[in-house]
Amino acid sequence: MFKGHYRSLSDETRMTCSTIIRSCFSPRPLKKYYAMAVVLPLVLIGCGDEEKAAVPKADIGAGKSLAESQCAGCHGVDGKGAAPGIPNMAAQVERYLVESLLAYKAGKRTHAALRDMTAQLSDSDIRNVAGYYTGLAPLTAATAKEMKEILSPYEKGKAAAVACVECHSEDGNSKIAGTPSLAGQQPLYFAAAVRAYLAGARSKASMEMLRKLTTVDVQSLALFYASQAPAQRAAPKDGNPAVGEPLSARCGGCHGAQGVSTDSATPSLAGQDAKYLVNAIKAYRDRSRQHSVMLDTNSDEEIKNIAAFYAVQESKAAEGEEMTAQALGEKCDRCHGPGVENSAMAIPKISGQDKAYLIKAMRAYHDGKRGSSLMHNMSLPYSELLIESVASLYAAQPAR
């Protein structure tokens, strides 16, 4: 019944309704459903009133001629994007095609060629061409080549970490004095530390190897290590944890209770190698490493004790579960999965979509260049990694 209502609306009412419906999907799940419960019925009542203003059906023949003369060069007559970065449109959700064309026309979505083209299209042209592309058979075989490339974020990190095993151990719990454990470490801090070595703000000959890593590599390593369980350490020979404990009072506000950080940009100190902690704190004191607070009041003796205190604390992994492309996909499928064409919102099909286009679209959401707050929730420390993984997953799925 909802579908019928929706189809019969004027373009303007439809945009307004969809905006309200979309705005219900705030990042906070509880608020979201509450807002849905309150707002959605109002929207439905409001939208239902316009039912009488009937909209003519799409003229598929007219849509086909329009597509052949103006769109086929890029979107194909079969709805297949002619080059990477151009979306496939065969069997796409009709209402979504209409809405995106209206969004280009209204300047809400920006793309120079489409703005100029849609400026020339009437509402019925838009309806017809959308109807034409929706009616085409889904593209199937063409995406097979993408099948090999599915990236599982966690597996990718695990593979990259092979280069680090010699010093940081297989699970990131280092056993070499002076070499930090990476297990359970906070991901934004991890990425910042790698950047600091690359920028020369922290120097260590052994870290030269980090130069080869791409952003996606660094994020996948951050994810892999953040998901490893930190081991408990025995008390170091130097330093007294009991004496160090009161000295840590100034640190807990940022580094968390007992050194277990809950902030992605602040490192956990719990369970860290004591010698590494001593070196790091002294490096801040000597200004060879920058820190947001002054640590230079500590004597060498105090530093040893504070390091001993943190070294023996039990830590906790920053990332809970192992993240796979499939697990992510299940979250996306709540909206983009089977039945998407019957949704109350204009939601596109993304299975079998062009991979380069998917990456472009998700980056645009992430960077705030394409509005749709509900698409912004890709967790930040891994955004590039997740975008690539999920794009490869959907590009490899058969189109529906």
**In this structure, which long-range contacts are made by residues 82-85, counting pairs with CB atoms below 8 Å and at least 24 apart in sequence?**
84/354, 84/355, 84/356, 84/357, 85/354, 85/356, 85/357, 85/360
Question: Which of 20, 96, 41 lies closest to 361, judged by CA?
Answer: 96
Asked whether the beta carbons of 269 and 310 are under 8 A apart, the reply is yes
Options 202, 282, 316, 400; binder of ligand HEC; rule CB under 6 A: 202
CA dist list (Å): 273 to 56, 183, 230, 241:
71, 11, 11, 13
The footprint of ligand HEC on residues 31-70 (CB under 6 A) is 70
Shortest reach from residue 374's CB to ligand HEC, in Å: 5
The residue (of 5 and 370) whose beta carbon lies closer to ligand HEC is: 370
Options 1, 45, 56, 204; binder of ligand HEC; rule CB under 6 A: 204
Q: Determine if 299 is a binding residue for ligand HEC (CB under 6 A).
A: no
The footprint of ligand HEC on residues 88-117 (CB under 6 A) is 97, 100-101, 109, 111, 113-114, 117
The footprint of ligand HEC on residues 15-34 (CB under 6 A) is 25
How do the residues of the chain divide into helix, strand and coil, expressed in percent and rounded to 5? 60, 0, 40
**How far, in Å, CA of 351 to CA of 139, rounded?**
10
Q: Determine if 156 is a binding residue for ligand HEC (CB under 6 A).
A: no
- The window from 39-47, 234-242, 319-327, 346-354 that contacts ligand HEC (CB under 6 A) reads 346-354
- The window from 42-50, 148-156, 172-180, 227-235 that contacts ligand HEC (CB under 6 A) reads 172-180
The residue (of 232 and 326) whose beta carbon lies closer to ligand HEC is: 326
CA dist list (Å): 68 to 58, 81, 91:
16, 14, 17
Question: Which of 369, 360, 372 lies closest to 87, judged by CA?
Answer: 360
Three-class secondary structure of residue 90 per DSSP: coil
Options 53, 331, 379, 398; binder of ligand HEC; rule CB under 6 A: 331
| Secondary structure (DSSP) of 295-344 | -TT--HHHHHHHHHHHHTS----SS-SPP-HHHHHHHHHHHHSTTGGGSS
Q: Determine if 277 is a binding residue for ligand HEC (CB under 6 A).
A: yes
**Number of residues in contact with ligand HEC under rule CB under 6 A:** 77
Q: Determine if 323 is a binding residue for ligand HEC (CB under 6 A).
A: no
Shortest reach from residue 52's CB to ligand HEC, in Å: 27
Joined tokens for residue 18: 């969809």
Three-class secondary structure of residue 154 per DSSP: helix
| Secondary structure (DSSP) of 346-400 | -----TT--HHHHHHHHHHHHTTSS--GGG--S-GGGHHHHHHHHHHHHHHSPP-
Q: Determine if 370 is a binding residue for ligand HEC (CB under 6 A).
A: yes
Options 231, 324, 375, 376; binder of ligand HEC; rule CB under 6 A: 375
Q: Determine if 9 is a binding residue for ligand HEC (CB under 6 A).
A: no
The residue (of 70 and 240) whose beta carbon lies closer to ligand HEC is: 70
Options 64, 95, 233, 336; binder of ligand HEC; rule CB under 6 A: 336
Shortest reach from residue 145's CB to ligand HEC, in Å: 20
The residue (of 5 and 360) whose beta carbon lies closer to ligand HEC is: 360
The residue (of 163 and 231) whose beta carbon lies closer to ligand HEC is: 163
* 57 contact partners, CB below 8 Å, separation of at least 6: 131
Joined tokens for residue 111: 């793309």
Q: Determine if 390 is a binding residue for ligand HEC (CB under 6 A).
A: yes
Options 26, 179, 240, 383; binder of ligand HEC; rule CB under 6 A: 179
Options 270, 306, 311, 312; binder of ligand HEC; rule CB under 6 A: 306
Options 10, 23, 65, 206; binder of ligand HEC; rule CB under 6 A: 206
